[in-house]
């Protein structure tokens, strides 16, 4: 089998080793992966075009739907871009609550990813534990926003409605229920001898190479580079909270697991600081938005007016939204810049080129990069 021409097999999108709605054409020589080519497009819905046909505030409903796992960070990106275009600044309370909601989204995204990672490595207990912990956060979302998966709680100008009276107590209670489960997962999974043997030295992206491959998010930080948009370009309430950027040293799959687990603890730390500052009685949580954006000025002044831009650190890396308005109720152009594309193209190609990847390692490498394939398709 190992001799002769490589054999192509199609991996995904229903394969349990595929990270979601995405497939790979994998060329194999015996057990060794020679080349893997991404086949996206299973979940392409044309969000950028759809958003051009709907009102500014209606597009909030579309804005998180290209990533189930981490909706609020993408929603926040769109909302910030629209506020930037309209020249509106949200009240402080809304900014704090939106930061808490976004950090909860990061925790639940990492827990959802732990389910995938446990599945890929064959640790069957981890998916159940991770989903149980995520369920607590979904209940918290249900309580605060009225929805479990897509929340649409943020809106240009603030938050859609006020937080409940016992927001602080319920939030802390939720964290107190989630964190012991995360600790359990950490003890049983991250330091597990079998997991270490399975993930250490696999899928290595170390040092500056990660930047050259245009990777972002935890993949970049596990490579040892301290880069986080929340620190380098603070938005919302991140400027005045204290948190660290966890980084790895080896840049392998195990380091990426460790970095994400430590990010969960940092998110908890951020929420604990911010939740003290939320006052449920304060009714200044939303400002009224004008109906029309300011007019677009001719090129090159267009760069400064008539456009809005935002840059956030989503759970998978840096996300940007760029909106262009021409004094209309609808956007002229919405560009959603999402973090997953480099992970499955340049980074995967690099790993397969520089390592002896077998077909058994491929799901582990793909999962440890934690892509969200719908955000490639959009």
Partner 1 sequence: MSTVEGHAEGKDEILELIRRSLPPGKFKEVVPTRWPRRYIVFIDAWAIRPVMEALKAAGFDRFVAIEAIDWYNIEPVFELLYYVESVKLGGPLVIVRTKIPRNNPEIDTIRDIYPLAHWQEIENYEFFGIRFRGHPDLRLWILEDNWEGPPPLRKDFDTVKYVLETYYGGKKWERPVKRREPPPPRGEE
Task: Out of 124, 193, 288, 304, point to the residue binding partner 1 (CB under 8 A).
Answer: 304
Determine which residue in the list 34, 188, 309, 359 makes contact with partner 1, applying CB under 8 A.
309
Q: Per rule CB under 8 A, is residue 330 in the interface with partner 1?
A: no
The reply on whether position 333 binds partner 1 by CB under 8 A is: yes
For the chain, the distance separating the N- and C-terminal CA atoms, rounded to the nearest angstrom, is 39
Strands 23-29 and 32-39: antiparallel
Q: Are 53 and 330 in contact (CB under 8 A)?
A: yes
Options 57, 184, 186, 233; binder of partner 1; rule CB under 8 A = 233
For tokens 């927001």, what's the residue?
Answer: 167
257 token code pair: 């697991």
Min dist CB 263 to partner 1, Å, is: 16
CB of 147 to partner 1, least distance (A): 27
**335 contacts partner 1 (rule: CB under 8 A):** yes
Question: 63-91: buried (b, 16+ CB within 10 Å) or exposed (e) per residue?
Answer: bbbbbbbbbbbbbbbbbbbbbbbbeeebb
Is residue 320 close enough to count as binding partner 1 by CB under 8 A? Answer: yes
To partner 1, the closest distance from the beta carbon of 251 in angstroms equals 11
The rounded distance, in Å, linking the Cα atoms of 232 and 179 is 28
Q: Which of 147, 226, 329, 354 binds partner 1 (CB under 8 A)?
A: 226
Strand stretches in the chain, DSSP E: 7-11, 23-29, 32-39, 154-155, 158-159, 307-314, 317-324, 333-337
Instruction: Report how far residue 267's alpha carbon sits from residue 370's, in angstroms, rounded to the nearest whole number.
Output: 18
Per-residue contact flags (x/-) with partner 1 for residues 58 to 97, judged by CB under 8 A: --------------------------x-------------
> Secondary structure of the chain: what % helix, strand, coil (to 5)?
45, 10, 40
- Binding to partner 1 (CB under 8 A): which residues in 174-213? 207-208, 211-213
Residues that bind partner 1 (CB under 8 A): 39-41, 44, 46, 48-49, 53, 84, 207-208, 211-214, 216, 220, 224-227, 229, 231-233, 245, 299-300, 303-304, 309, 311, 318, 320, 322, 324, 326, 332-333, 335, 337, 341-342, 345-346, 376-377
């Amino acid at each position: 089998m190992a001799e002769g021409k490589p054999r192509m097999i199609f991996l995904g999108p229903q394969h349990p080793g595929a990270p979601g709605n995405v497939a790979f054409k994998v060329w194999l020589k015996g057990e060794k992966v020679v080349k893997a080519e991404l086949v996206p497009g299973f979940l392409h819905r044309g969000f950028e075009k759809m958003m051009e046909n709907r009102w500014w505030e209606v597009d909030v409903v579309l804005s998180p739907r290209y990533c189930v796992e981490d909706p609020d960070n993408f929603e926040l990106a769109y909302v910030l871009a629209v506020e930037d275009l309209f020249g509106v600044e949200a009240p402080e309370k809304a900014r704090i609550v939106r930061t808490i909601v976004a950090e909860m989204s990061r925790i639940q995204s990492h827990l959802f990813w732990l389910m995938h990672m446990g599945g890929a490595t064959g640790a069957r207990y981890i998916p159940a534990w991770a989903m149980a912990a995520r369920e607590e956060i979904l209940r918290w979302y249900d309580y605060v926003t009225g929805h479990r998966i897509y929340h649409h709680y943020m809106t240009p100008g603030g938050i859609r409605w006020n937080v409940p009276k016992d927001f602080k107590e319920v939030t802390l209670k939720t964290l107190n229920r989630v964190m012991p489960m995360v600790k359990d997962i950490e003890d049983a999974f991250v330091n597990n001898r079998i997991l270490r043997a399975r993930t250490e030295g696999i899928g290595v992206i170390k040092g500056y190479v990660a930047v050259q491959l245009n990777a972002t998010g935890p993949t970049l930080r596990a490579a040892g580079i301290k880069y986080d948009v929340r620190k380098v370009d603070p938005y919302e309430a991140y400027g005045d909270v204290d948190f660290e950027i966890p980084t790895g040293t080896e840049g392998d799959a195990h380091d990426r697991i460790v970095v994400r687990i430590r990010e969960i603890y940092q998110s908890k730390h951020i929420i604990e600081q911010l939740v003290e500052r939320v006052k449920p009685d304060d009714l200044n949580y939303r400002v009224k938005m004008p109906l029309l954006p300011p007019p677009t000025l001719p090129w090159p002044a267009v760069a400064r007016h008539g456009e809005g831009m935002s840059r956030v650190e989503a759970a998978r890396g840096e996300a940007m939204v760029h909106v262009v308005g021409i004094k209309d109720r609808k956007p002229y152009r919405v560009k959603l810049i999402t973090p997953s594309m480099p992970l499955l193209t340049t980074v995967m190609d690099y790993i397969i080129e520089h390592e002896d990847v077998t077909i058994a390692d491929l799901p582990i490498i793909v999962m440890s990069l934690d892509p969200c394939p719908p955000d490639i398709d959009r």
